[in-house]
Every structure is written in C-alpha cells, then in structure tokens.
Amino acid sequence: MNGLLQQDLNQETFILNLGPQHPATHGVLRVKLEMDGEYIVKAEPVLGYIHRMHEKMGENRTWVKFLPNCGRMDYLSALSYNHGYVAAVERAAGIEVPERAEYLRVITVELNRISSHLLWFGAFVLDLGGFTPLLYAFDDREQILDLLESVTGSRLTYCYFRFGGVYNDIDDSFITGTRELIKRLRKRMPMYDALVTKNIILIKRLKDIGPISKDMARRYGATGPVARGSGINFDVRKDEPYSVYPEFDFDVPVYEEGDSMARYMVRMDEIEQSMRIIEQALDKLPEGEIKPKKAVKLVKPEKGDYYYAVEAARGSFGVRLVSDGTNTAYRLKLRSPTYSNLSLFDEASRGMLLPDALALMGSLDLVIPEIDR
Amino acid sequence: MPEPFRVILFVIFAMAFAGLNAAYLVWCERKGAAHVQRRIGPKEVGPYGLLQPIADGIKLMTKQLFLPKGADPILFMVAPLMVMVPAIMSFCVIPFSETFVAAEINLGLLMIFAFASVNVLGLLLGAWGSANKYAVIAAARTVSQNVAYEIPMLITVITMVMVTNTMNLNEIVRSQAGWFFHWHIFRLDISLLMPVSFLIFFVCSLAETNRAPFDMAEAESELIAGVYTEYPGMGFGVFFMGEYANIVIGAALAVILFLGGWQSPIPFSPEGFLGVFWGLFWFLIKLYALIFIVIWIRWTYPRTQFYQLLNLSWKVLIPISLFNLILTALQIKIFPWL
C-alpha cells in the first residue's frame, strides 16, 4: 500500500524533515517542519549532529592547547574566533599586545570577514536557485584565501593569533596583494550588483520575505547582520570597541526593513566597509614587534570571571572565562551568534511558504558547526 | 519508399534523434554552464569530454533499479515512460525540412499539444508513486504550473492558427517563405503584437518544460530533487531524457510557428536532395540557437517563487495573450487585404 496513504487521513498537517542531509541547510542541521500544505505551521530546529564539546574541551586542556579549537567552530570566519578567545585570555592574564600585532589582527580578521560574506553571498543565491554567482564569489574568495595562506599558513581553519600577538609578520607582497585585491573587489561588486542584486527575480524573492521585527531580534538576542537588517544599530566594533577599531573610520550599515533583502544588503555593504578598514590599517600600519619581547610561556590568569566579545562575520561572538588561577579554565562559555540567530527561525517562519522560509534561513547565514560547537 | 517502411524508418530516426539530443544537450548544458561560470566543464572522457554523456548513460544503466519502501511499483516504473514516449511521438509530425517529416498530418499542431499534456501526468504519477513528501510537493506545484501556463500558450497558438489558417506544421512553415522578414515574428502587418506573442510562447514553453527559472519540478535547493527524488539509475535517466526531448519539442514549435521553420533567411533553396539538407540546416540552426538561450537563462537567473510564477501567468500572460488574440482577429477581419 502507498506509504502516504498509510498515514492518518484525518490529520490536517504533516511533518517534513528538512535535513540533516538537505541542500538548503548547508550542513547537518535538521529542521522538523510541521506543514499545512506548503505553509509552515511550526519549525523546530534539531541540533547536535556535529556537536564536538568545544566548551568541555576548553575546560580540560591548557589555555594554549585550546587555541586550534577556535578555528573549528565557525570555519568561515575562523580568525574572529581566534581573536575572541585570544583577547579574552589576554584580558584575563593581563598580557600586553604590541600595536603592530593588533593591526595585523584587524587586517586579517577583516579579510576573513570579506571571504565569509562572499561565500555566504554565493551560497545564498544558490539557495534561491541561481547557480552561477557561487562560482564567481568563490573566484574572489580564492584570492583572499591565497593572501591569508601566505601569512597564516592555512586556508580555512586558521590558528594565527597567539597570546600577546600573532604568529607571523606580513611582508610587502601581502600588502601589495591586499591592495590589488581591494581594487579588484571594487570592480567586482558593481558586477554582482548588476547581475544579482538588481535582478527582478531576486528582488521579488527577497523583498518583504521573512520579516524580523526589531522586537523579535532583541528577544532572541540576534546580533550581526541579522540584527542590523532589522534596524538595530549594534556592532561590537563600534559599541564595545576592542583592539584598534576605534582608530578607523567606517560605517555600520543598518537597514530598517527587517526582510531578507535588508540582511542581504547589510552584508553586501559590510564588504565595502571591511575594505575601507583594511585600507586604513595598511596605511597606518606601525612598525615594531608582532609578539611580546619575552615570549608568553605560562598563562595563568588571576582568579575571576572574564568576558570578551568580538564582531564575527555572523554577529557578536563572546567568550566567557572563569579562571580558578590554574593553567586550565574552570569554565569556558562560548556565545556564538548563529545559535541565537537560528532560534528566531521558528517564530519568523510561521505561516510562510517553504521556499520563502528557505530564503529566510539562507539570509540568517547559518554555519552549523558554530551552532553546535 | 513504401509508406509503412518510411514511417518506421522515421520513428527510429525520431527515437535516435531524441536520445542523442538528450545526451548531447546534457553535454552542451554542462559545457555551456561551465563557460558561463568560468569553468572548463567535462573534459576527461574523450576529446572535449564528448564521450561523457555515453559514460553517464552506462553508469545510469548499470545502477540498481531500487524501489523505495511504500512505493507503487507500477506507477513508479511507468511514470518515466509517460514523460519520454509522448515527446518522441511528437517528433513524428515535426517538419525538419520540407520533405523530411514522418507524417505530414493536418492536425499536427493539435497532436503535439495533446501529447505534451501527458508529460505532467507522468510527473504527477511518478511523484505519487514514489511516496515521498518532497516529490508530492513538487508534483502539486508542477501540475498547477502546467495548468496555468498551458492557457496562455494555447491562446497564443490559437492566434497563430488564425493567422495561418492551418494546423499542418508544414503549411505553417510554407506560409513564411521568402525573405526573413516574412517569418511570423516580424509580420507586424498581421498582428502588431507578434514579437510579444513569440515572447509569451517562449516563456510558456520554458514553464511547460519545467526549465529554470520555472523549474518547480526539480527545485534542487528546496525539494532536494523534487519529483525525481526517489528515482535511481535509468528511471531518472529516462525522466531526464524526456525533459530534454520536451525542450527540443518546445523550441522546435517556437521555430516553426514564429521563426520560419526550415525556411532560409534568404529566398534561395537548392533543388532536389540538397534542398532537404538546406532546410534541415536552417531548422537545426534556429532550433539550437533557441535551446542555447534556454540554457543561458538557466545559468543566469535564480528560481522564481511559486506564487509569483502563477501570478505571472494569470495576471500578466493570460490577459496579454487574450488581448493579442482579439487584436489579431480584428486586424485580420478589418484589414483582410494585408
């Protein structure tokens, strides 16, 4: 007998299992959708398919040994996670960072942010059924990865920052390469604009689709482009300045509409702002050391409770350290942005059609290993 | 040649043409997509990857025919054929050249549309038979999409039948003889909205064949593979071939109705046997140019949302095509000497 007929014929709704293996979830996210026809009644994200206990690992290895884990949470903006953890430990242990190292951190993190947004751009349009922009975006991203590889030694899961500085200094070829990259990207962005952003089909698929109100974004603790697309002017780089960000002149793109298009525009504008930051950082780049003269050998923060937040590509990434004065953390809590951003999916997607809900999900820019940690 | 042999020979030709076209359109599609996306595309199997479709075919044929749990075995197996067979049947009435046609019947146009309607039934039954929720969602979309787009398409075809006074495809082509501005698409004197008719027909044939940006039947980023989700091996292969055969039929109809079919753009045709090839040459050139545009569109635009698709048909295409029908009728009746 037919499998569909075996179900209770009186039921009004049915359950659709979106994932854990589904092209639109970009990883092993599973969303249990209660559907009425093609309308979503309830969406329940089921997490944990790629849980690796990063927080627990942080509690039973030394401060230094946890460093490589940071690059494996959000693999698309790994350097921001490096930054968050390293800076939190520096704050706890009172380690000074030379200025040049801070500049290098900003430059590499912003490059990483651009590459993350480019990949999101491609994957998002892929979610909407447009295949080609993905490969164009990867073409640009490749150049960034080459640059980052030349200085950090890896292409995806970076472990570049050290307590008190960075591991490797940049050279002239990196500087000229980065300037050329920015020149190239400035030429490419109008092309993306003409090819994708102004495409009538894309506009119709994104405008007024998946609205997230200011209130909803606040209630769920959404940060990053999701919050800024809903009119919340919050960027950790501006509001809780860290590193050398106060020295740069850049804008925080904020859109009031709260729909998928607003989130799209925020990210596209952020690419330009990141390029501005990199340009200024390259101009102002001070000479000097990139790590403390006396190497930091033993990290033992004072007893206490510390918090440090950075603006990752997907929002505010916070590290809360509880130290009991030994060489391992007593408690390490990682606040990852997409976890909060995903949690509003249920409320935001109610009553939406499946393809619209997938456009909404894509516009949240989910990275599953970062949700599960 | 006696009639039955000629028809059998032509049916074999039609099947070979449909099969080869499907295989090599996939190759063209992959190469075309690669060039749009600044890649190389298939290149390992044979020169320029030309043997890739054959390798793919062998791969699909050697795969296990797997029946998903809860599936209806008969519908599941029959559905791909219901997409493929009508498409091959339609080739029998398409005039590839003036004399190069299996059956020049007076209701050729009607026959093609009768067979084209079976396509959607195949998709619906395949989805229902495979007992998969994603497939059923896709099937529901496909059916309402096809119903919506068949209306403006048929209205446009009725307009053309009014203009040409015949449903015989070869007669329609003959009525466009002469210079290229005698092709229907340029005949503003018959109907002011002729280019619009062509556009409507082309958009509708994209939607009817489930091609991007209207590929609701597959919608790979939403519904995994839509109707084809549960199909393994050659079941999927036959669906795929049917899809490409339908694209060829759609483009061929557009060429016949609007672009002068096998007529060359200049009023010249060699006599006898060469003339057959001369017609064939122009027909295929136009056919593949249209198919190239279809491929180009697919790799440029994102997919439309389903209700926008229906809105486009019900609120834009149907009113325009109805208006076009009335306008053409008036123009024929009021200025009959044109």
- Which H/E stretch holds residue A32? strand A30-36
Whether residues A6 and B300 touch (CB distance < 8 A) is answered with: no
Query: Is residue B103 over pLDDT 80?
Result: no
Pairing of strands A39-46, A161-162: unpaired
Can you read off the two tokens belonging to residue A211?
A: 């609205």
Q: How much is the pTM?
A: 0.85
Shortest Cα distance from A199 to chain B (angstroms)?
8
Distance CA B330, CA A300 (A): 91
In angstroms, the first-to-last Cα distance of chain A is 43
pLDDT value at residue A116? 92
> Three-state DSSP class for B200?
helix
Can you read off the two tokens belonging to residue B249?
A: 């039929």
Looking at the DSSP bridge assignments, the partners of residue A36 are: A39
Count how many pairs of residues, chain A against chain B, have C-beta atoms within 8 Å.
93
Residue of chain B minimizing CA distance to A122:
B302
Whether residues B38 and A136 touch (CB distance < 8 A) is answered with: yes
CA angle A21-A24-A25, nearest 5°?
Answer: 60
Looking at the DSSP bridge assignments, the partners of residue A334 are: A319
User: ipTM of this predicted complex?
Assistant: 0.78
Residue with tokens 């123009």: B331
Distance CA A268, CA A270 (A): 5
Using the Cβ of B207 and the Cβ atoms of chain A, whether some distance falls under 8 Å is answered with no
| Distances, alpha carbon B210 to alpha carbons A318, A367, B217, in Å | 47, 32, 6
Residues of A in contact with B229 (CB under 8 A): none
Query: Is residue B155 over pLDDT 70?
Result: yes
Model confidence over A9-63: pLDDT tens digits? 566 788 888 878 888 777 788 888 888 878 888 888 888 888 888 888 888 888 8
Distance CA B220, CA A373 (A): 28
Distance CA B275, CA B284 (A): 14
pLDDT value at residue A1? 38
Chain A segment 259-298 residues within 8 A of B by beta carbon are: none
Model confidence over B166-179: pLDDT tens digits? 888 888 888 887 77
Model confidence over A334-371: pLDDT tens digits? 888 988 888 888 888 888 888 888 888 888 888 888 88
Q: Which of A24, A25, A44 is nearest to A34 (CA)?
A: A44
Estimate the crossing angle of helix B52-62 against helix B233-258, to 10 degrees: 140
